[in-house]
């Protein structure tokens, strides 16, 4: 209890010191560890690939913080890579670390706030309110998209610095002896958060709202008391302003690629999204990584959907004005969602990770409401109610932890996640197309054919419904995926050796989207398999006229030219492909083979062939028979026939009976000190 009214220091009575209290920080941490212990087996999925695995800047310290609105996050990705490569478990561990620290900061800020807001509140009650709120926030299943989905480390890190900002400010207004130090920490943590994600822009407003409500008493008094502090805090807005003005990844996602979704359409759709978020707070099932949320059209639908969110917003503002903790928790929820649930168009209308820090508002409000019920009881029933509240809290924490662990399993593989999304949102064409890509990559062509046919059927039905409903918005409709689905069906048929059918599919894909590089490339494959090499070459050259940086098409053209004995042109194609994509395995393999075995002396280059073949074998850990064959041919071309024979025998062993006769002939050739010619 405070030593006197208005005091900013707190004393605990001797009797209270002797009591045993629940170690809430340990409870918060334990809930987080238990909830996410099984997340370490998760893999890289969805945006993890372009933003982490395939981003060359992540591998280079000098580039990892450039051209990004989240430079501090990318720096941590780089450090992960430097320490253990792309080991998914280590990336998950860092995400969880920031999440747990964020939970502890939330606990500290809430506990101190409870003592500041209600100066007569027992320290044990303040700790219980803060601990239960923080534990529920840490273990809540809706947080999985921010914690288990690796690329959303940006959300977790921004949340950590946001909470550190609030924690430091809460202490600055309740501990006058360290006022300046806490204010400096507030500004510094706010600035660091701005380097993590632009949603941090609401932090200065949250600090001012807290000051006005619980410390200064009004905005004017807060400004007069801490003018220099607020000017320093506001200056942190310059950081996202500069980062957003430069080329960055956000130009390809948030705010980019939104089609015909205008600010008004986006704003009209958000009340439904907010209601969905509130439902997930209460019952987080089913969760979905990729909602493909439809836009809301029509003034009547927009107004009807906005009624409840508008009422809740009004009550939050009214409650905050009357200095109600529950009202402030509601205001926190709406303030944190403001950057993503207002009128600024973002490619995806709904995403669970946007609820990450906002979730603290409704969770804390619910805990405060339950505490209020226990407070109005008197006498013995009060103890019974408190016991019931403890049991209910333990049960609720156990349930949320179990549900979070269950949700983590969906992140165990890309295929499992795509199937989970399709189950939750059957009309999500993006998820269906991604699943088909996965099946094709694993050469499960029959499954891919069935899935692609289903997707085409869904798209046709969607387009028919859209034409019948003229008022329905067409932005982001399934029709955008028709060419993709036709190309995928053709690829599956090509894998099943139904080449004529595949060619028809590629033609249909090009009819729907004449600029499809992938479909044009695959059409060349089909034409080649059908014995029409000149048409195949023409198709590939069409690709290269449209996109001269298509390394895959350059490599394929090189293979075709090699078969036609146009060795010089083939070498040029392979070299161009490798300049564009240095790690393109089949281009490196084909060039090394050509340089080692080409009949034309002008094209052969044993030393370069050996260099490329060694790189190739190292990349596959000397387990590929084809790579070992190429290395053997390169050794022979440089005159080292002993190594050539030895390496060819390794290739024979790795081939496991395939092409054994051909490799045996190569071994005999090397024994006779004859290089391989093809």
What local confidence, expressed as pLDDT, does residue 80 receive? 97
Q: How many C-beta atoms lie closer than 10 Å to residue 80's C-beta? A: 23
CA atoms 68, 69, 71, 74: torsion sign:
negative
CA-closest candidate to residue 537, choices 512, 571, 573, 581: 573
Please identify which residue in the block is written with the tokens 């997707």.
455
Class of 427-513 per CATH? mainly alpha
| Angle between helix 517-529 and helix 499-512 axes, rounded to 10 deg | 160
Query: What pLDDT is stored for residue 18 in this prediction?
Result: 43
Rounded distance between C-alpha atoms, residue 624 and residue 631, angstroms: 11
Residue 491 is encoded by which pair of tokens?
Answer: 């690829």
Closest CA to 214 of 110, 125, 290, 72: 110
Contact 523, 539 (CB under 8 A): yes
Q: What is the pLDDT of residue 259?
A: 54
Q: Count CB atoms within 10 A of the CB of residue 461.
A: 12
Averaged pLDDT in 10-residue chunks for the chain of 678 residues? 38 46 92 97 93 92 92 97 96 98 98 89 92 98 98 98 98 80 96 97 98 95 95 98 87 48 92 97 96 90 94 97 96 97 91 98 95 70 72 93 97 96 95 96 96 95 73 52 96 97 96 92 95 93 90 94 94 95 91 95 95 92 92 95 94 87 91 90
Measured in whole angstroms, the distance separating CA 612 from the mean position of its chain's CA atoms is 35
What is the model's pLDDT at position 9?
41
**pLDDT for the residue 6:** 39
Contacts of 271 by beta carbon, 8 Å cutoff, 6+ apart: 296, 302, 305, 306, 308, 309, 310
**CATH class of the domain comprising 592-678:** mainly alpha
Contact 159, 355 (CB under 8 A): no
Angstrom distance (rounded) from CA 7 to CA 481: 64
Closest CA to 149 of 437, 533, 420, 454: 420
- Is residue 2 classed as helix, strand or coil in its secondary structure? strand
Q: What span, in angstroms and rounded, lies between the C-alpha atoms of 218 and 213?
A: 7
Cβ atoms of 612 and 591 closer than 8 Å: yes
The domain defined by 516-582 folds into: 1.25.40
Provide φ and ψ at 2, rounded to 5°.
-70, 150
CA angle (18 as vertex; 15, 24 as ends), nearest 5: 115
Alpha helices, H only, 85-122: 88-117
Extents of the domains making up the chain? 20-409, 427-513, 516-582, 592-678
SS3 assignment, position 10: strand
pTM of the model: 0.86
Sequential DSSP letters for 367-401: HHHHHHHHHT--SHHHHHHHHHHHHHHHHHHHHHH
Asked if the domains 516-582 and 592-678 are classified in one and the same CATH topology, the answer is yes
User: Is 182 within 8 Å of 168 (Cβ atoms)?
Assistant: yes
């Amino acid at each position: 209890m405070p030593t006197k009214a208005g005091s900013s220091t707190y004393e605990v009575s001797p009797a209270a010191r002797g009591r045993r209290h629940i170690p809430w920080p340990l409870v918060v941490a334990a809930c987080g560890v238990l909830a996410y212990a099984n997340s370490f087996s998760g893999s890289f999925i969805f945006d993890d690939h372009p933003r982490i695995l395939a981003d060359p800047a992540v591998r280079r310290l000098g580039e990892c913080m450039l051209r990004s609105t989240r430079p501090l996050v990318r720096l941590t990705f780089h450090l992960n890579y430097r320490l253990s490569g792309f080991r998914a478990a280590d990336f998950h561990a860092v995400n969880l670390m920031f999440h747990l620290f964020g939970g502890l900061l939330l606990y500290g800020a809430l506990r101190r706030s409870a003592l500041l807001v209600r100066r007569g509140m027992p320290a044990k009650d303040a700790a219980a309110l803060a601990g239960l709120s923080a534990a529920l926030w840490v273990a809540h299943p809706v947080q999985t998209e921010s914690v288990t989905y690796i690329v959303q480390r940006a959300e977790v890190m921004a949340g950590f610095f946001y909470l550190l900002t609030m924690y430091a400010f809460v202490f600055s207004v309740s501990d006058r002896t360290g006022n300046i130090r806490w204010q400096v920490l507030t500004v510094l943590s706010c600035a660091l958060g701005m380097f993590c994600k632009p949603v941090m822009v609401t932090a200065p407003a949250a600090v001012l709202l807290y000051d006005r409500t619980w410390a200064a008493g009004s905005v004017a008094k807060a400004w007069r008391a801490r003018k220099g502090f607020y000017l320093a805090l506001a200056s942190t807005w310059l950081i996202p302003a500069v980062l957003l003005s430069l080329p960055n990844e956000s130009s390809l996602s948030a705010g980019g690629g939104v089609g015909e979704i205008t600010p008004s359409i986006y704003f009209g759709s958000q009340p439904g999204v907010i209601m969905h978020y509130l439902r997930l707070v209460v019952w987080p099932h089913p969760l979905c990584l990729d909602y493909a949320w439809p836009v809301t059209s029509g003034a009547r639908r927009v107004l009807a959907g906005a009624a409840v969110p508008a009422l809740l917003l009004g009550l939050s503002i009214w409650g905050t004005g009357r200095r109600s903790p529950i009202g402030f928790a509601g205001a926190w929820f709406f303030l944190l969602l403001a950057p993503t649930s207002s009128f600024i168009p973002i490619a995806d209308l709904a995403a669970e990770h946007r609820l990450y820090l906002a979730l603290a508002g409704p969770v804390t409000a619910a805990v405060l409401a339950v505490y209020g019920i226990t407070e109005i009881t008197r006498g013995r029933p009060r103890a019974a109610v408190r016991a019931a509240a403890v049991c209910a809290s333990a049960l609720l924490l156990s349930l949320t932890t179990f549900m979070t662990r269950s949700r983590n399993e969906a992140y165990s593989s890309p295929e499992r996640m795509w199937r989970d999304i399709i189950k939750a949102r059957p009309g999500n064409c993006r998820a269906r197309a991604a699943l088909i890509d996965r099946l094709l990559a694993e050469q499960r062509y029959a499954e891919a054919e069935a899935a692609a046919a289903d997707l085409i059927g869904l798209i046709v039905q969607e387009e028919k419904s859209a034409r019948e409903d003229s008022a329905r918005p067409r932005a982001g409709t399934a029709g955008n995926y028709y060419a993709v689905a036709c190309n995928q069906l053709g690829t599956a048929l090509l894998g099943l050796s139904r080449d004529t059918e595949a060619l028809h599919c590629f033609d249909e894909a090009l009819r729907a989207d004449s600029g499809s590089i992938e479909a044009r490339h695959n059409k060349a494959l089909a034409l080649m398999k059908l014995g029409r090499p000149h048409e195949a070459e023409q198709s590939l050259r069409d690709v290269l006229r449209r996109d001269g940086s298509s390394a895959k098409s350059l490599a394929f053209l090189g293979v075709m030219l090699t078969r036609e004995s146009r060795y010089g042109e083939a070498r040029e194609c392979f070299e161009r492909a490798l300049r564009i994509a240095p790690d393109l395995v089949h281009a490196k393999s084909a060039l090394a083979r050509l340089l080692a075995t080409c009949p034309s002396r002008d094209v052969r280059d044993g030393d370069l062939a050996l260099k490329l073949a060694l790189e190739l074998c190292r990349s596959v850990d000397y387990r590929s028979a084809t790579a070992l064959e190429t290395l053997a041919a390169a050794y022979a071309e440089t005159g080292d026939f002993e190594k050539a024979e030895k390496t060819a025998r390794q290739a024979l062993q790795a081939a496991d009976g395939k092409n054994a006769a051909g490799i045996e002939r190569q071994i005999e050739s090397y024994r006779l000190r004859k290089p391989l010619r093809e």
